[in-house]
Structure 1
Amino acid sequence: MPKNAGLGGSIDQIDLDFVEREATPRLLMKLSIQLHLAGLSLSNTVSVLEIFGVQRARSTVYNWVHKADLQPKDGQSPDHVAVDETVIQLNGERYWLYAAVDPQTNKLLHTKLRPTTTKVLAHAFLTELSEKHDVDDAVFLVDGSRSLQAVCQRHGFDFRYEKHGNRNAVERVFREIKRRTVCFSNCFSNAEAETADDWIRSFSFAWNQLI
């Protein structure tokens, strides 16, 4: 169960500058965003608002989450980075999710959703990761993905094959993302891949605050 301090700290970091005119108290908006990203469905999040006498549509909460533009903090300097790719179902189509996790903290460093997996896309993912975080001296933990191994070598990163051990961190993240996209498929119903990509970044923000 997440600690209350983590929940409060996460709420404080949610920026509502996108709001122009909104009758909902800002604290309840932040609470709704955090509860949904922490695992509550849109329907149940709306029910929580009703407890406070506020009636809003599921689409309203959905829009709050996306407009908040949440994502993991830049500027981390991990000793190790577990990287992997997995398949996500979106409107019946397969997409590939690239993710990088600091196995010492279990925090997500960077994610990217792509329509396929190639060495070019894997290279772009690691380039974005290296621009966001100081990973030049990190040891990259890679499983059997030949594309990720190849681009690690191309970037000059120190990497090693590891199927379990410290790589369990990224596997736990993938399991939770898959659970969320299956259980709360209304998040992705008729959504574009770009919207799903935004949602996963927002999820990463909440994951990092609550672990």
Structure 2
Amino acid sequence: MPENASLSGSIDQINLEFIEREATPRFLMKLSIQLHLAGLSLSNTVSVLEIFGVDRARSTVHNWVHKADLQPEDGQNPDHVAVDETVIQLNDEQYWLYAAVDPETNELLHTELEPTTNKVIAHAFFAELREKHNVDDAVFLIDGSHSLKDACSRHGLDFRYERNGNRNSVERVFREVKRRTTSFSNCFSNAQADTADDWLRSFAFAWNQLI
């Protein structure tokens, strides 16, 4: 993500309605959530809080991120959509991350973490994507995945094979996700799949704000 990106816009969009009793000032909670999603480890995020005289555990910040339930904004109308799938390591198991990206803006449109990959899962991913965004008239950019091709055909969507070009946007996102999940082991250490799925949607929200 750009190092000089402004955090103010996305901070304003973080909703803290889930908070009932919390001594931490809400601005610092929002700042902590955004800093972690923007690339700071949980340990370093806690260190930032300490600068403000607030002592919180890494698990507390993790819970704030999880409970905030952030995700990409619905209702986008892209001309093209790059879709791909990649393997994500979660503890000792492998999961498949499905992602759809607008190659013109590099914004993440939708993500889904699945225990495997097949035509049924790909079809469900496209169904959710169509519910969230206006993509029926978009051209879908896919690689050689048979499940993605089948899903496009079953949904009656226009698609073409593309390994480079506009597909570089989704590859860039995947590289950043893998960098985050391998560099910061405390992101997914001992995490359940649904928690990791929530974190990835939160990451998508932050990515869209900061690109």
TM category, shorter: over 0.9
Identical residues among aligned pairs (%): 80
Instruction: Tell me which stretches of 4 or more aligned residues in structure 1 moved more than 2 Å.
Output: 1-4
Map of 1:209 onto structure 2: 209
Report the AA paired with residue 167 of structure 1. Answer: R
**1:9-158 to 2 correspondence within 5 Å?**
9-158=9-158
- Find the aligned partners of 1:159 and 1:73 in 2 and give their Cα distance: 24
C-alpha deviation, 1:68, in angstroms: 0.3
Map of 1:8 onto structure 2: 8
Report the AA paired with residue 165 of structure 2. Answer: G
Report the AA paired with residue 204 of structure 2. Answer: S
Residues 169-192 of structure 1: per-residue CA shift (max 9 Å, x gap): 000000000000001121111111
- Find the aligned partners of 1:37 and 1:150 in 2 and give their Cα distance: 33
- Classify the secondary structure of the residue corresponding to 1:187: coil
Report the AA paired with residue 7 of structure 2. Answer: L
Report the AA paired with residue 205 of structure 1. Answer: F
Cα RMSD (Å): 0.7
Q: Which runs of 5+ in 1 are unaligned?
A: none
- Classify the secondary structure of the residue corresponding to 1:34: helix
Residues 107-164 of structure 1: per-residue CA shift (max 9 Å, x gap): 0000000000000000000000000000000000000111001110110000000000
- Find the aligned partners of 1:99 and 1:185 in 2 and give their Cα distance: 22
Is the contact made by 1:137 and 1:158 (CA closer than 8 Å) also made in structure 2? yes
- Find the aligned partners of 2:93 and 2:185 in 1 and give their Cα distance: 13
Is the contact made by 1:152 and 1:158 (CA closer than 8 Å) also made in structure 2? yes
Residues 46-78 of structure 1: per-residue CA shift (max 9 Å, x gap): 000000010000000000000000000000000
C-alpha deviation, 1:2, in angstroms: 4.3
- Find the aligned partners of 2:155 and 2:48 in 1 and give their Cα distance: 47
Map of 1:171 onto structure 2: 171
Q: Normalization by structure 1: what TM-score? A: 0.98
Residues 2-28 of structure 1: per-residue CA shift (max 9 Å, x gap): 445x41000000000000011100000
- Find the aligned partners of 1:187 and 1:7 in 2 and give their Cα distance: 21
- Classify the secondary structure of the residue corresponding to 2:186: helix
Q: Which runs of 5+ in 2 are unaligned?
A: none
